[in-house]
Chains A and B, each alone.
Chain A
Amino acid sequence: MPASASVAYSTAAFRREREGDWQAFEALVERLERGSISRLSDEDLLALPRLYRATLSSLSLARATSLDAALVAYLEALSMRGYFLLYGVRESRLARFARFFAVSWPAAVRSLWRETIIIALLLALGTAASWWLVANDPAWFHALIPAELASGREPGASAAALRETVYGKPDHDGLSIFATFLFTHNSQVSITAYALGFAFGVPSMMLIFYQGLPLGALLSVFWDAGLGPDFIAWLSIHGTTELFAAILAGACGLRIGTAVAFPGPRDRLAAAADAGKQSGAAMLGVIIMLLCAGLLEGFARQLVQSMPMRFAVGGGMLAFWLAYFYVPRRAVRDTQL
Chain B
Amino acid sequence: MTAAPAVGAARQAARRNAKQRRFVTPEGIDLQLEIASAGLRFSALLIDLTLMLVILFVVTLTLVFGLPGGAGQAALALWLVGFFLLRNFWFIAFELGPRAATPGKRLVGIRVVARDGGRLTVSSVVARNLVREMEIFLPFAFLAGSAEQDLVSTATVVLALLWTLILSCFLLFNRDRMRMGDLIGGTWVVLARRSKMQADIGSASAHPQADEPQFTPAELAVYGVYELQELERVLRQGDNALRRTVADTIRTKIGRPLTGDDEQFLSAYYRQLKARMERDLLFGKRRANKYEEPQ
Against B, the Cβ 8 Å flags (1 = close, 0 = not) of A76-87 are: 110111011101
User: How many A-B residue contacts, CB cutoff 8 Å?
Assistant: 215
Within 8 A of A (CB), among B187-213: 192-198, 200, 202-205
Q: Are B73 and A177 in contact, with the CB atoms below 8 A?
A: yes
Q: Are A188 and B84 in contact, with the CB atoms below 8 A?
A: yes
Q: Are A272 and B183 in contact, with the CB atoms below 8 A?
A: yes
- The docked-state distance in angstroms from the alpha carbon of A279 to that of B186 is 12
Q: Are B202 and A195 in contact, with the CB atoms below 8 A?
A: no
Q: Are B275 and A8 in contact, with the CB atoms below 8 A?
A: yes
Is B121 among interface residues, defined by CB-CB distance under 8 A?
yes
- Knowing A32-B98, A83-B25, say if A195 contacts B133 (CB, 8 Å): yes
- The docked-state distance in angstroms from the alpha carbon of A281 to that of B183 is 16
Q: Are B180 and A198 in contact, with the CB atoms below 8 A?
A: yes
Within 8 A of B (CB), among A31-72: 32-33, 53, 56, 59-60, 64-71
Against B, the Cβ 8 Å flags (1 = close, 0 = not) of A185-212 are: 0011001101110100000000000000
Give the chain B neighbours of A306 by CB distance below 8 A: none
Q: Are A56 and B25 in contact, with the CB atoms below 8 A?
A: yes
Q: Are A277 and B115 in contact, with the CB atoms below 8 A?
A: no
Give the chain B neighbours of A3 by CB distance below 8 A: 279
Is B281 among interface residues, defined by CB-CB distance under 8 A?
yes
Is A4 among interface residues, defined by CB-CB distance under 8 A?
yes
Q: Are B203 and A12 in contact, with the CB atoms below 8 A?
A: yes
Give the chain B neighbours of A15 by CB distance below 8 A: 200, 203
Against A, the Cβ 8 Å flags (1 = close, 0 = not) of B266-289 are: 000001101111110110000000
Interface size on A, residues (CB 8 A): 79
Q: Are A84 and B100 in contact, with the CB atoms below 8 A?
A: yes
State the majority secondary structure of interface residues on A. Answer: helix
Min CB distance A255 to B, Å, is 10
Q: B202: which of A11, A53, A256 is its contact (CB, 8 Å)?
A: A11
Q: A108: which of B123, B192, B198, B214 is its contact (CB, 8 Å)?
A: B123
Q: Are A181 and B80 in contact, with the CB atoms below 8 A?
A: yes
- Knowing A19-B197, A188-B84, A191-B133, say if A11 contacts B278 (CB, 8 Å): yes
Is B113 among interface residues, defined by CB-CB distance under 8 A?
yes
Closest to A37 in B: B98
Q: Are B196 and A74 in contact, with the CB atoms below 8 A?
A: yes
Min CB distance B101 to A, Å, is 11
Min CB distance B79 to A, Å, is 9
Query: Which of the candidate stretches B3-11, B41-49, B59-67, B224-232 sits at the interface with the other chain?
Result: B224-232
- Knowing A77-B193, A89-B98, say if A276 contacts B185 (CB, 8 Å): yes
Q: Are A89 and B122 in contact, with the CB atoms below 8 A?
A: no
Closest to B197 in A: A74
Closest to B87 in A: A188
Is B38 among interface residues, defined by CB-CB distance under 8 A?
no
Query: Which of the candidate stretches B50-58, B124-132, B151-159, B240-248 sits at the interface with the other chain?
Result: B124-132
Closest to B116 in A: A273
Q: Are B276 and A192 in contact, with the CB atoms below 8 A?
A: no
Q: Are B274 and A277 in contact, with the CB atoms below 8 A?
A: no
Is B120 among interface residues, defined by CB-CB distance under 8 A?
yes
State the majority secondary structure of interface residues on B. Answer: helix
Min CB distance B234 to A, Å, is 12
Against A, the Cβ 8 Å flags (1 = close, 0 = not) of B68-98 are: 0000011011001101100010000000001
Is A148 among interface residues, defined by CB-CB distance under 8 A?
no
- The docked-state distance in angstroms from the alpha carbon of A192 to that of B202 is 57
- The docked-state distance in angstroms from the alpha carbon of A4 to that of B123 is 55
Q: Are B281 and A281 in contact, with the CB atoms below 8 A?
A: no
Q: B77: which of A9, A100, A108, A180 is its contact (CB, 8 Å)?
A: A180
Q: Are B100 and A12 in contact, with the CB atoms below 8 A?
A: no
Is B15 among interface residues, defined by CB-CB distance under 8 A?
no
Closest to B286 in A: A67
Q: Are A280 and B195 in contact, with the CB atoms below 8 A?
A: no
- Knowing A32-B98, A81-B194, A195-B133, say if A8 contacts B186 (CB, 8 Å): no
Is B1 among interface residues, defined by CB-CB distance under 8 A?
no
Within 8 A of A (CB), among B247-279: 271-272, 274-279
Give the chain B neighbours of A187 by CB distance below 8 A: 84, 88
Q: A71: which of B98, B99, B198, B277 is its contact (CB, 8 Å)?
A: B198
- The docked-state distance in angstroms from the alpha carbon of A149 to that of B43 is 41
- Knowing A70-B232, A79-B29, say if A7 contacts B73 (CB, 8 Å): no
- The docked-state distance in angstroms from the alpha carbon of A166 to that of B159 is 41
Is B31 among interface residues, defined by CB-CB distance under 8 A?
yes
- The docked-state distance in angstroms from the alpha carbon of A22 to that of B135 is 42
Is A284 among interface residues, defined by CB-CB distance under 8 A?
yes
Min CB distance B78 to A, Å, is 8
Q: A196: which of B121, B122, B134, B193 is its contact (CB, 8 Å)?
A: B134
Give the chain B neighbours of A274 by CB distance below 8 A: 186
Q: Are A4 and B122 in contact, with the CB atoms below 8 A?
A: no
Q: Are A76 and B193 in contact, with the CB atoms below 8 A?
A: yes
- The docked-state distance in angstroms from the alpha carbon of A310 to that of B79 is 30
Q: Are A88 and B121 in contact, with the CB atoms below 8 A?
A: no
Give the chain B neighbours of A181 by CB distance below 8 A: 80
In the complex, besides A23-B197, A87-B118, 4 extra interface pairs with C-beta distance below 8 angstroms are: A8-B271, A67-B281, A195-B134, A277-B185
The 5 closest A-B pairs by CB, nearest first: A273-B186, A280-B123, A12-B203, A195-B134, A280-B127
Provide a sorted-by-A list of 12 A–B residue pairs whose CB atoms are within 8 angstroms: A66-B278, A68-B200, A71-B198, A80-B193, A81-B194, A88-B119, A176-B74, A176-B77, A192-B138, A272-B186, A277-B123, A279-B123
